[in-house]
Structure 1
Amino acid sequence: MDSQQLPRFQVTALPPDASIAEAWRTHWREYLMEATQTGVLLFCIGLFAALLYSGAAFQLPQAMRPFAMGAGVSVATILLIRSRFGRRTGAHLNPAVTLAYSYLRRVHRWDAAFYVVCQFLGAVSGMWLARSVLGDRLAYPPVCYAVTTPGSEGEVIAFLAEWSLSALLMSIVLFTANHKTLVRYAPFAVGLLTIFYYGFCASLSGFSVNPARSFASAVFAWIWHGLWIYLVAPVGGALSAAALYARWMGRDHVYCAKVFHDTRSTCPFRCSFLELHGEDSESGG
Protein backbone atom coordinates (compact mmCIF):
# COMPACT_ATOMS: atom_id res chain seq x y z
CA MET A 1 0.00 0.00 0.00
CA ASP A 2 1.29 3.46 -0.87
CA SER A 3 2.07 5.61 2.18
CA GLN A 4 -0.23 8.29 0.76
CA GLN A 5 -3.20 5.91 1.07
CA LEU A 6 -2.59 5.17 4.75
CA PRO A 7 -4.69 7.07 7.28
CA ARG A 8 -2.74 9.77 9.06
CA PHE A 9 -2.14 9.74 12.79
CA GLN A 10 -1.06 12.51 15.12
CA VAL A 11 2.62 12.66 16.05
CA THR A 12 3.41 14.58 19.25
CA ALA A 13 7.18 14.10 19.36
CA LEU A 14 9.13 16.54 21.50
CA PRO A 15 11.56 18.96 19.87
CA PRO A 16 15.23 18.15 20.57
CA ASP A 17 15.61 21.08 22.98
CA ALA A 18 12.41 20.37 24.94
CA SER A 19 12.60 20.88 28.69
CA ILE A 20 11.56 18.37 31.33
CA ALA A 21 8.49 20.49 32.09
CA GLU A 22 7.49 20.55 28.43
CA ALA A 23 7.92 16.78 28.23
CA TRP A 24 5.58 16.25 31.19
CA ARG A 25 2.96 18.66 29.84
CA THR A 26 2.99 16.98 26.45
CA HIS A 27 3.22 13.30 27.34
CA TRP A 28 2.02 12.84 30.93
CA ARG A 29 -0.82 10.65 29.66
CA GLU A 30 1.62 8.32 27.90
CA TYR A 31 3.78 8.12 31.02
CA LEU A 32 0.84 7.13 33.21
CA MET A 33 -0.35 4.64 30.60
CA GLU A 34 3.11 3.04 30.52
CA ALA A 35 3.10 2.78 34.31
CA THR A 36 -0.36 1.20 34.24
CA GLN A 37 0.60 -1.37 31.63
CA THR A 38 3.78 -2.35 33.47
CA GLY A 39 1.75 -2.69 36.66
CA VAL A 40 -0.73 -4.99 34.94
CA LEU A 41 2.14 -7.11 33.61
CA LEU A 42 3.64 -7.51 37.09
CA PHE A 43 0.24 -8.32 38.56
CA CYS A 44 -0.16 -11.07 35.96
CA ILE A 45 3.32 -12.42 36.68
CA GLY A 46 2.51 -12.58 40.38
CA LEU A 47 -0.88 -14.13 39.71
CA PHE A 48 0.40 -16.87 37.41
CA ALA A 49 3.34 -17.63 39.72
CA ALA A 50 1.02 -18.05 42.70
CA LEU A 51 -1.46 -20.19 40.79
CA LEU A 52 1.14 -22.47 39.27
CA TYR A 53 3.77 -22.79 41.99
CA SER A 54 1.97 -22.42 45.32
CA GLY A 55 0.02 -25.64 44.83
CA ALA A 56 -3.20 -23.87 45.76
CA ALA A 57 -4.85 -23.96 42.35
CA PHE A 58 -3.29 -25.94 39.51
CA GLN A 59 -1.43 -29.19 40.01
CA LEU A 60 0.66 -29.42 36.86
CA PRO A 61 3.71 -31.64 36.44
CA GLN A 62 6.88 -29.82 37.44
CA ALA A 63 8.23 -29.88 33.89
CA MET A 64 5.11 -28.22 32.52
CA ARG A 65 4.93 -25.31 34.93
CA PRO A 66 7.54 -23.08 33.24
CA PHE A 67 5.74 -23.47 29.90
CA ALA A 68 2.38 -22.71 31.51
CA MET A 69 3.90 -19.67 33.20
CA GLY A 70 5.37 -18.53 29.90
CA ALA A 71 2.05 -19.02 28.13
CA GLY A 72 0.21 -16.92 30.71
CA VAL A 73 2.74 -14.10 30.64
CA SER A 74 2.85 -14.32 26.84
CA VAL A 75 -0.91 -13.82 26.49
CA ALA A 76 -0.83 -10.90 28.94
CA THR A 77 2.06 -9.29 27.05
CA ILE A 78 0.37 -9.63 23.65
CA LEU A 79 -2.87 -8.15 24.98
CA LEU A 80 -1.00 -5.23 26.55
CA ILE A 81 0.97 -4.49 23.39
CA ARG A 82 -2.18 -4.54 21.27
CA SER A 83 -4.33 -2.70 23.81
CA ARG A 84 -5.44 0.91 23.39
CA PHE A 85 -2.77 2.00 25.87
CA GLY A 86 -0.11 -0.14 24.21
CA ARG A 87 -0.85 1.19 20.75
CA ARG A 88 -0.40 4.72 22.06
CA THR A 89 2.66 4.34 24.29
CA GLY A 90 4.48 1.70 22.27
CA ALA A 91 4.16 -0.79 25.16
CA HIS A 92 7.83 -0.94 26.07
CA LEU A 93 7.02 -2.30 29.54
CA ASN A 94 10.75 -2.59 30.08
CA PRO A 95 13.48 0.01 30.77
CA ALA A 96 15.91 -1.93 28.58
CA VAL A 97 13.65 -1.51 25.54
CA THR A 98 13.15 2.20 26.23
CA LEU A 99 16.87 2.85 26.64
CA ALA A 100 17.65 0.95 23.45
CA TYR A 101 15.19 3.08 21.49
CA SER A 102 16.64 6.19 23.13
CA TYR A 103 20.08 5.12 21.91
CA LEU A 104 18.58 4.79 18.43
CA ARG A 105 17.33 8.40 18.74
CA ARG A 106 13.67 7.52 18.45
CA VAL A 107 12.82 8.43 22.05
CA HIS A 108 13.57 11.88 23.47
CA ARG A 109 15.82 11.82 26.52
CA TRP A 110 13.10 13.21 28.81
CA ASP A 111 10.55 10.75 27.47
CA ALA A 112 13.04 7.96 28.14
CA ALA A 113 13.63 9.19 31.69
CA PHE A 114 9.91 9.41 32.48
CA TYR A 115 9.21 6.05 30.84
CA VAL A 116 11.87 4.32 32.93
CA VAL A 117 10.71 5.91 36.19
CA CYS A 118 7.09 5.03 35.44
CA GLN A 119 8.03 1.47 34.51
CA PHE A 120 9.68 0.97 37.90
CA LEU A 121 6.81 2.64 39.75
CA GLY A 122 4.25 0.67 37.77
CA ALA A 123 6.06 -2.61 38.41
CA VAL A 124 6.18 -2.02 42.17
CA SER A 125 2.51 -1.00 42.17
CA GLY A 126 1.52 -4.10 40.22
CA MET A 127 3.33 -6.42 42.60
CA TRP A 128 1.79 -4.60 45.57
CA LEU A 129 -1.65 -5.17 44.09
CA ALA A 130 -0.85 -8.84 43.52
CA ARG A 131 0.23 -9.16 47.15
CA SER A 132 -2.97 -7.48 48.30
CA VAL A 133 -5.10 -9.90 46.29
CA LEU A 134 -3.13 -13.14 46.68
CA GLY A 135 -1.68 -12.74 50.16
CA ASP A 136 0.46 -15.61 51.48
CA ARG A 137 0.24 -17.61 48.26
CA LEU A 138 2.46 -14.99 46.65
CA ALA A 139 4.77 -14.43 49.62
CA TYR A 140 5.83 -17.89 50.74
CA PRO A 141 8.24 -20.30 49.03
CA PRO A 142 8.51 -21.45 46.35
CA VAL A 143 6.76 -18.40 44.87
CA CYS A 144 8.46 -15.59 46.85
CA TYR A 145 6.95 -12.84 44.69
CA ALA A 146 8.40 -14.50 41.57
CA VAL A 147 11.80 -13.14 42.54
CA THR A 148 14.61 -13.63 40.01
CA THR A 149 17.91 -15.02 41.31
CA PRO A 150 20.82 -16.77 39.57
CA GLY A 151 20.31 -20.47 38.95
CA SER A 152 22.51 -23.34 40.05
CA GLU A 153 25.05 -22.51 37.33
CA GLY A 154 26.00 -19.30 39.12
CA GLU A 155 26.05 -15.56 38.51
CA VAL A 156 28.24 -15.58 35.41
CA ILE A 157 25.88 -17.90 33.53
CA ALA A 158 22.88 -15.93 34.76
CA PHE A 159 24.47 -12.69 33.54
CA LEU A 160 25.28 -14.16 30.13
CA ALA A 161 21.78 -15.62 29.86
CA GLU A 162 20.08 -12.33 30.68
CA TRP A 163 22.36 -10.41 28.31
CA SER A 164 21.83 -12.87 25.45
CA LEU A 165 18.09 -13.23 25.94
CA SER A 166 17.63 -9.46 26.12
CA ALA A 167 19.68 -9.00 22.96
CA LEU A 168 17.56 -11.61 21.19
CA LEU A 169 14.34 -9.98 22.40
CA MET A 170 15.40 -6.52 21.21
CA SER A 171 16.61 -7.90 17.89
CA ILE A 172 13.28 -9.56 17.22
CA VAL A 173 11.39 -6.40 18.20
CA LEU A 174 13.52 -4.27 15.88
CA PHE A 175 13.36 -6.71 12.98
CA THR A 176 9.60 -7.29 13.10
CA ALA A 177 8.52 -3.75 14.01
CA ASN A 178 10.51 -2.29 11.10
CA HIS A 179 9.39 -4.71 8.40
CA LYS A 180 6.28 -3.90 6.39
CA THR A 181 4.97 -7.47 6.31
CA LEU A 182 6.01 -8.53 9.82
CA VAL A 183 5.04 -5.42 11.78
CA ARG A 184 1.54 -6.73 12.51
CA TYR A 185 3.05 -9.90 13.98
CA ALA A 186 5.53 -8.18 16.32
CA PRO A 187 3.41 -8.74 19.48
CA PHE A 188 3.08 -12.44 18.68
CA ALA A 189 6.81 -12.78 18.08
CA VAL A 190 7.42 -11.31 21.53
CA GLY A 191 4.81 -13.67 22.96
CA LEU A 192 6.35 -16.78 21.41
CA LEU A 193 9.78 -15.76 22.62
CA THR A 194 8.38 -15.35 26.14
CA ILE A 195 7.11 -18.95 26.14
CA PHE A 196 10.49 -20.16 24.91
CA TYR A 197 12.32 -18.17 27.59
CA TYR A 198 10.22 -19.45 30.45
CA GLY A 199 10.18 -23.02 29.17
CA PHE A 200 13.86 -23.50 28.44
CA CYS A 201 15.84 -20.70 30.11
CA ALA A 202 14.16 -19.85 33.42
CA SER A 203 16.37 -22.27 35.34
CA LEU A 204 19.45 -20.26 34.36
CA SER A 205 18.41 -16.88 35.71
CA GLY A 206 14.77 -17.00 36.75
CA PHE A 207 13.86 -15.19 33.53
CA SER A 208 13.70 -11.45 33.79
CA VAL A 209 15.12 -9.49 30.80
CA ASN A 210 13.43 -6.57 32.56
CA PRO A 211 15.06 -4.49 35.31
CA ALA A 212 11.73 -3.11 36.57
CA ARG A 213 10.23 -6.59 36.83
CA SER A 214 13.16 -7.95 38.90
CA PHE A 215 13.33 -4.86 41.10
CA ALA A 216 9.64 -5.07 41.99
CA SER A 217 9.93 -8.74 42.98
CA ALA A 218 13.08 -8.06 45.02
CA VAL A 219 11.42 -5.22 46.93
CA PHE A 220 8.61 -7.42 48.22
CA ALA A 221 10.58 -10.65 48.64
CA TRP A 222 13.43 -8.65 50.20
CA ILE A 223 15.87 -10.86 48.33
CA TRP A 224 18.62 -8.83 46.71
CA HIS A 225 21.04 -11.58 45.74
CA GLY A 226 22.23 -11.00 42.19
CA LEU A 227 19.91 -8.07 41.54
CA TRP A 228 22.73 -6.19 39.82
CA ILE A 229 22.60 -8.84 37.07
CA TYR A 230 18.97 -8.02 36.30
CA LEU A 231 19.63 -4.30 36.27
CA VAL A 232 22.74 -4.37 34.09
CA ALA A 233 22.50 -7.37 31.75
CA PRO A 234 19.10 -6.63 30.14
CA VAL A 235 20.12 -3.04 29.39
CA GLY A 236 23.48 -4.13 28.03
CA GLY A 237 21.90 -6.83 25.89
CA ALA A 238 19.24 -4.53 24.46
CA LEU A 239 21.78 -1.77 23.73
CA SER A 240 24.15 -4.19 22.02
CA ALA A 241 21.30 -5.47 19.82
CA ALA A 242 20.32 -1.90 18.97
CA ALA A 243 23.91 -1.04 18.08
CA LEU A 244 24.25 -4.08 15.83
CA TYR A 245 20.93 -3.38 14.13
CA ALA A 246 21.89 0.26 13.52
CA ARG A 247 25.24 -0.80 12.06
CA TRP A 248 23.71 -3.49 9.87
CA MET A 249 20.51 -1.77 8.73
CA GLY A 250 21.22 1.87 9.53
CA ARG A 251 19.43 4.14 12.01
CA ASP A 252 17.13 5.31 9.23
CA HIS A 253 15.64 1.83 9.17
CA VAL A 254 14.26 2.27 12.69
CA TYR A 255 10.96 3.92 11.83
CA CYS A 256 9.46 4.35 15.29
CA ALA A 257 9.90 3.30 18.92
CA LYS A 258 6.61 1.41 19.14
CA VAL A 259 6.65 -2.35 19.49
CA PHE A 260 3.38 -2.41 17.56
CA HIS A 261 2.36 0.53 15.39
CA ASP A 262 -1.04 1.19 13.86
CA THR A 263 -2.19 4.17 11.81
CA ARG A 264 -4.83 5.44 14.21
CA SER A 265 -3.15 5.92 17.58
CA THR A 266 -1.29 9.06 18.59
CA CYS A 267 2.48 8.58 18.48
CA PRO A 268 4.70 10.37 21.04
CA PHE A 269 7.99 9.49 19.35
CA ARG A 270 10.14 10.66 16.46
CA CYS A 271 8.06 8.69 14.02
CA SER A 272 8.50 7.95 10.33
CA PHE A 273 6.30 4.87 10.26
CA LEU A 274 4.61 5.84 7.00
CA GLU A 275 8.01 5.85 5.27
CA LEU A 276 8.23 2.11 5.91
CA HIS A 277 5.26 1.54 3.62
CA GLY A 278 6.35 4.05 1.04
CA GLU A 279 9.89 2.65 0.84
CA ASP A 280 8.74 -0.97 0.56
CA SER A 281 6.10 -0.21 -2.06
CA GLU A 282 8.56 1.67 -4.20
CA SER A 283 11.13 -1.11 -3.99
CA GLY A 284 8.55 -3.81 -4.68
CA GLY A 285 9.36 -5.46 -1.33
Structure 2
Amino acid sequence: MNQARRFAAECVGTAMLLAVVIGSGIMGERLADGNIALALLGNSIATGAALVVLIQIFGQVSGAHFNPAVTMIAGLRRQLPLSTTALHVAAQFVGAATGVWMAHAMFAEPLMQISPKLRDGPAQGFSEFVATFGLIGTILGTERSRPAFVPLAVGLYITAAYWFTASTSFANPAVTAARTLTASFAGIAPASAPLFIAAQLLGALAATVFFTWLFQEDVRDERCIPHHDLP
Protein backbone atom coordinates (compact mmCIF):
# COMPACT_ATOMS: atom_id res chain seq x y z
CA MET A 1 0.00 0.00 0.00
CA ASN A 2 1.32 3.46 -0.92
CA GLN A 3 2.72 5.19 2.18
CA ALA A 4 1.31 8.58 1.19
CA ARG A 5 -2.17 7.09 1.02
CA ARG A 6 -1.68 5.44 4.42
CA PHE A 7 -0.58 8.76 5.93
CA ALA A 8 -3.54 10.58 4.38
CA ALA A 9 -6.03 7.99 5.62
CA GLU A 10 -4.74 8.02 9.20
CA CYS A 11 -4.37 11.81 9.27
CA VAL A 12 -7.75 12.68 7.77
CA GLY A 13 -9.56 9.91 9.64
CA THR A 14 -8.12 11.00 12.99
CA ALA A 15 -8.88 14.65 12.20
CA MET A 16 -12.50 13.79 11.47
CA LEU A 17 -12.71 11.76 14.68
CA LEU A 18 -11.43 14.67 16.78
CA ALA A 19 -13.72 17.10 14.99
CA VAL A 20 -16.60 14.87 16.08
CA VAL A 21 -15.34 14.44 19.65
CA ILE A 22 -14.73 18.15 20.21
CA GLY A 23 -17.56 19.45 18.04
CA SER A 24 -20.22 17.24 19.61
CA GLY A 25 -18.87 18.20 23.03
CA ILE A 26 -19.26 21.90 22.25
CA MET A 27 -22.72 21.39 20.76
CA GLY A 28 -23.82 19.20 23.64
CA GLU A 29 -22.63 21.69 26.23
CA ARG A 30 -24.38 24.57 24.46
CA LEU A 31 -27.69 22.77 24.10
CA ALA A 32 -27.80 20.89 27.42
CA ASP A 33 -28.32 24.04 29.50
CA GLY A 34 -25.99 22.87 32.26
CA ASN A 35 -27.09 19.21 32.22
CA ILE A 36 -23.72 17.44 32.07
CA ALA A 37 -25.27 13.98 31.65
CA LEU A 38 -27.18 15.16 28.58
CA ALA A 39 -24.05 16.75 27.12
CA LEU A 40 -22.10 13.52 27.69
CA LEU A 41 -24.87 11.49 26.08
CA GLY A 42 -24.70 13.55 22.91
CA ASN A 43 -20.90 13.44 22.92
CA SER A 44 -20.77 9.64 23.35
CA ILE A 45 -23.40 8.81 20.73
CA ALA A 46 -21.80 11.08 18.13
CA THR A 47 -18.33 9.66 18.79
CA GLY A 48 -19.41 6.02 18.66
CA ALA A 49 -21.44 6.55 15.50
CA ALA A 50 -18.60 8.40 13.78
CA LEU A 51 -16.11 5.66 14.64
CA VAL A 52 -18.25 3.06 12.88
CA VAL A 53 -18.37 5.15 9.71
CA LEU A 54 -14.74 6.31 9.75
CA ILE A 55 -13.35 2.80 10.28
CA GLN A 56 -15.54 1.56 7.41
CA ILE A 57 -14.29 4.34 5.12
CA PHE A 58 -10.57 4.24 5.84
CA GLY A 59 -10.08 0.65 6.97
CA GLN A 60 -9.26 -0.69 3.53
CA VAL A 61 -6.47 1.88 3.09
CA SER A 62 -4.64 1.99 6.42
CA GLY A 63 -6.55 -0.26 8.81
CA ALA A 64 -8.21 2.86 10.28
CA HIS A 65 -6.33 2.75 13.57
CA PHE A 66 -6.63 6.47 14.43
CA ASN A 67 -4.87 5.52 17.66
CA PRO A 68 -1.14 5.15 18.44
CA ALA A 69 -1.90 2.40 20.96
CA VAL A 70 -3.63 0.31 18.28
CA THR A 71 -0.81 0.99 15.82
CA MET A 72 1.80 0.07 18.43
CA ILE A 73 0.12 -3.28 19.00
CA ALA A 74 -0.06 -3.92 15.25
CA GLY A 75 3.68 -3.22 15.08
CA LEU A 76 4.47 -5.51 18.00
CA ARG A 77 2.42 -8.26 16.37
CA ARG A 78 4.43 -7.72 13.16
CA GLN A 79 1.37 -6.73 11.20
CA LEU A 80 3.13 -3.48 10.26
CA PRO A 81 6.81 -2.76 9.59
CA LEU A 82 8.54 -0.23 11.83
CA SER A 83 8.55 2.49 9.16
CA THR A 84 4.80 2.18 8.60
CA THR A 85 4.13 2.10 12.34
CA ALA A 86 6.01 5.38 12.77
CA LEU A 87 4.20 6.89 9.78
CA HIS A 88 0.80 6.00 11.22
CA VAL A 89 1.61 7.44 14.64
CA ALA A 90 2.87 10.71 13.15
CA ALA A 91 -0.25 11.00 11.00
CA GLN A 92 -2.50 10.35 14.00
CA PHE A 93 -0.96 13.11 16.12
CA VAL A 94 -1.03 15.61 13.26
CA GLY A 95 -4.60 14.68 12.40
CA ALA A 96 -5.78 14.83 15.99
CA ALA A 97 -4.53 18.39 16.52
CA THR A 98 -5.99 19.43 13.18
CA GLY A 99 -9.37 17.97 14.11
CA VAL A 100 -9.50 20.03 17.31
CA TRP A 101 -8.84 23.22 15.35
CA MET A 102 -11.48 22.22 12.80
CA ALA A 103 -14.07 21.91 15.57
CA HIS A 104 -13.09 25.28 17.03
CA ALA A 105 -13.43 26.91 13.61
CA MET A 106 -16.87 25.38 13.01
CA PHE A 107 -18.18 26.75 16.29
CA ALA A 108 -16.47 30.17 16.02
CA GLU A 109 -14.24 29.40 19.00
CA PRO A 110 -10.66 30.68 19.32
CA LEU A 111 -8.47 28.24 17.41
CA MET A 112 -5.65 28.13 19.93
CA GLN A 113 -6.73 27.04 23.40
CA ILE A 114 -5.34 25.12 26.37
CA SER A 115 -7.63 23.04 28.55
CA PRO A 116 -7.85 23.90 32.26
CA LYS A 117 -9.78 20.70 33.08
CA LEU A 118 -7.77 18.56 35.50
CA ARG A 119 -8.44 14.83 35.34
CA ASP A 120 -6.09 13.50 38.01
CA GLY A 121 -5.82 10.63 40.46
CA PRO A 122 -5.44 6.84 40.49
CA ALA A 123 -9.09 6.25 39.57
CA GLN A 124 -8.69 8.26 36.38
CA GLY A 125 -5.50 6.44 35.44
CA PHE A 126 -7.01 3.03 36.17
CA SER A 127 -10.07 3.98 34.13
CA GLU A 128 -7.86 4.64 31.12
CA PHE A 129 -6.06 1.33 31.64
CA VAL A 130 -9.40 -0.51 31.67
CA ALA A 131 -10.80 1.48 28.74
CA THR A 132 -7.80 0.75 26.53
CA PHE A 133 -7.58 -2.88 27.64
CA GLY A 134 -11.18 -3.32 26.57
CA LEU A 135 -10.68 -1.50 23.28
CA ILE A 136 -7.74 -3.70 22.27
CA GLY A 137 -9.65 -6.78 23.39
CA THR A 138 -12.61 -5.69 21.29
CA ILE A 139 -10.41 -5.32 18.21
CA LEU A 140 -8.42 -8.54 18.66
CA GLY A 141 -11.42 -10.65 19.54
CA THR A 142 -13.69 -9.32 16.82
CA GLU A 143 -10.98 -9.51 14.15
CA ARG A 144 -10.64 -13.20 15.03
CA SER A 145 -14.33 -14.09 15.04
CA ARG A 146 -16.10 -11.57 12.76
CA PRO A 147 -13.72 -9.17 10.97
CA ALA A 148 -16.53 -7.32 9.18
CA PHE A 149 -18.07 -6.48 12.56
CA VAL A 150 -14.98 -4.59 13.84
CA PRO A 151 -16.22 -1.06 12.96
CA LEU A 152 -19.53 -1.56 14.75
CA ALA A 153 -17.91 -3.35 17.70
CA VAL A 154 -15.42 -0.52 18.25
CA GLY A 155 -18.11 2.13 17.97
CA LEU A 156 -20.37 0.32 20.43
CA TYR A 157 -17.55 -0.30 22.89
CA ILE A 158 -16.40 3.33 22.94
CA THR A 159 -19.99 4.55 23.36
CA ALA A 160 -20.38 2.26 26.37
CA ALA A 161 -16.95 3.09 27.78
CA TYR A 162 -17.82 6.80 27.89
CA TRP A 163 -20.28 5.81 30.59
CA PHE A 164 -18.66 3.00 32.58
CA THR A 165 -15.24 4.63 33.06
CA ALA A 166 -14.59 7.58 35.37
CA SER A 167 -12.35 9.14 32.72
CA THR A 168 -14.99 8.91 29.94
CA SER A 169 -12.67 6.61 27.97
CA PHE A 170 -10.09 8.57 26.01
CA ALA A 171 -8.28 5.25 25.30
CA ASN A 172 -6.02 6.93 22.72
CA PRO A 173 -2.71 8.82 23.21
CA ALA A 174 -3.22 11.05 20.14
CA VAL A 175 -6.74 11.94 21.24
CA THR A 176 -5.47 12.67 24.74
CA ALA A 177 -2.71 14.97 23.50
CA ALA A 178 -5.08 16.79 21.14
CA ARG A 179 -7.72 17.30 23.82
CA THR A 180 -5.22 19.38 25.81
CA LEU A 181 -5.68 21.94 23.00
CA THR A 182 -9.34 22.70 23.77
CA ALA A 183 -10.96 24.43 26.71
CA SER A 184 -14.30 22.90 25.76
CA PHE A 185 -16.33 20.13 27.40
CA ALA A 186 -14.03 17.38 26.09
CA GLY A 187 -10.72 18.92 27.18
CA ILE A 188 -8.01 17.64 29.50
CA ALA A 189 -5.35 19.77 31.18
CA PRO A 190 -1.81 19.20 29.86
CA ALA A 191 -0.68 18.24 33.37
CA SER A 192 -3.18 15.36 33.40
CA ALA A 193 -2.27 13.96 29.99
CA PRO A 194 0.91 11.98 30.93
CA LEU A 195 -1.00 9.78 33.39
CA PHE A 196 -3.65 9.05 30.77
CA ILE A 197 -1.14 8.21 28.05
CA ALA A 198 0.93 5.96 30.30
CA ALA A 199 -2.20 4.09 31.44
CA GLN A 200 -3.39 3.71 27.84
CA LEU A 201 -0.10 2.20 26.67
CA LEU A 202 0.00 -0.17 29.64
CA GLY A 203 -3.61 -1.18 29.04
CA ALA A 204 -2.89 -1.89 25.38
CA LEU A 205 0.15 -4.03 26.22
CA ALA A 206 -1.71 -5.93 28.94
CA ALA A 207 -4.62 -6.63 26.58
CA THR A 208 -2.28 -7.89 23.87
CA VAL A 209 -0.57 -10.31 26.25
CA PHE A 210 -3.84 -11.53 27.74
CA PHE A 211 -5.86 -11.97 24.56
CA THR A 212 -2.98 -13.50 22.63
CA TRP A 213 -2.66 -16.11 25.38
CA LEU A 214 -6.42 -16.57 25.60
CA PHE A 215 -6.97 -17.20 21.92
CA GLN A 216 -3.93 -19.46 21.59
CA GLU A 217 -5.36 -21.60 24.37
CA ASP A 218 -8.67 -21.82 22.48
CA VAL A 219 -6.93 -23.08 19.35
CA ARG A 220 -4.89 -25.63 21.29
CA ASP A 221 -7.98 -26.91 23.10
CA GLU A 222 -9.87 -27.33 19.82
CA ARG A 223 -7.03 -29.35 18.34
CA CYS A 224 -7.05 -31.68 21.33
CA ILE A 225 -10.73 -32.64 20.91
CA PRO A 226 -10.99 -36.17 19.40
CA HIS A 227 -12.91 -36.22 16.12
CA HIS A 228 -15.51 -38.66 17.48
CA ASP A 229 -16.44 -36.10 20.16
CA LEU A 230 -17.31 -33.42 17.61
CA PRO A 231 -21.03 -32.91 16.87
What range is the shorter-chain TM-score in?
Answer: 0.7 to 0.9
- 2:226 aligned residue: none
Match of 2:121 among 155, 158, 162: 155
In the comparison of the two structures, how many residue pairs are matched?
Answer: 216
Q: Are residue 86 (structure 1) and residue 62 (structure 2) matched?
A: no
User: What is the CA–CA distance in structure 2 between the aligned matches of 1:199 and 1:163, rounded to whole Å?
Assistant: 15
How many Å apart are 1:206 and its aligned residue?
4.2
Structure 1 residue 137: Cα displacement: 8.5
2:36 is matched with: 62
Kindly indicate whether residue 213 of structure 2 is the aligned counterpart of residue 247 of structure 1: yes
State the 1:129 CA deviation. 1.4
- Structure 1 gaps of 5+ residues are 1-11, 13-25, 254-283
Write the distance in 1 (CA, Å) between the matches of 2:83 and 2:3. Answer: 10
Residue 229 of structure 1: aligned partner: 195
Instruction: Give TM-score, length-normalised by structure 1.
Output: 0.68
Match of residue 136 from structure 2 = 170
Per chain length, whose mean CA-contact separation is higher, i.e. which structure has more relative contact order (CA < 8 Å, sep 6+)?
1
| Contact preservation (8 Å) 2:69, 2:200 | yes
Kindly tell me: are residues 34 and 118 of structure 1, through their superposed partners in 2, closer, same or farther at Cα, counting changes over 3 Å?
A: same
Q: CA offset at residue 219 of structure 1?
A: 3.1
Higher deviation after alignment, 128-137 or 211-220: 128-137
State the partner residue of 2:157: 193
Find the aligned partners of 2:134 and 2:196 in 1 and give their Cα distance.
16
CA RMSD of aligned residues (A): 2.7
Report the Cα distance in structure 2 between the residues aligned to 1:29 and 1:60, rounded to whole angstroms. Answer: 42
- Inter-partner Cα distance in structure 2 for 1:240 and 1:148: 28
Indicate conservation of the 8 Å contact 1:148/1:207, yes or no.
no
Q: Secondary structure at the match of 2:181?
A: helix
Distance 2:197 2:158 in 1: 19
**Structure 2, unaligned stretches of length 5 or more?**
220-229
Q: Distance in 2 between matches of 1:149 and 1:172?
A: 29
Change (3 A) 1:58 1:65: closer
Asked if 1 retains the 8 angstrom alpha-carbon contact of 2:28 and 2:38, the reply is: no
Q: How does 1:1-285 map onto structure 2 within 5 Å?
A: 12=1, 26-53=2-29, 55=30, 57-59=31-33, 61-83=35-57, 85-136=58-109, 149-150=118-119, 154-179=120-145, 182-201=146-165, 204-221=166-183, 223-250=189-216
SS class of match (1:178): helix
Kindly state the Cα deviation for residue 99 of structure 1 after the two structures are TM-superposed: 0.4
1:29 is aligned with what amino acid?
R
Q: 1:138 to 1:157 in 2, by over 3 A?
A: farther
Residue 271 of structure 1 corresponds to none
Rounded to whole Å, the distance in 2 between the matches of 1:41 and 1:148 is: 21
Distance 2:134 2:168 in 1: 17
Deviation at 1:246? Answer: 2.0
**Counterpart-to-counterpart distance in 1, 2:143 and 2:79:** 13
Against the structure 1 CA distance between its residues 113 and 148, is the aligned structure 2 distance closer, same or farther, given a 3 Å change threshold?
A: farther
1:52 touches 1:65 (CA, 8 Å); kept in 2?
yes
| d(CA) in 1 for partners of 2:193, 2:107 | 24
Query: Do the aligned residues in 2 keep the contact of 1:149 with 1:205 (CA within 8 Å)?
Result: no
Q: Displacement of 1:191 after TM fit?
A: 1.2
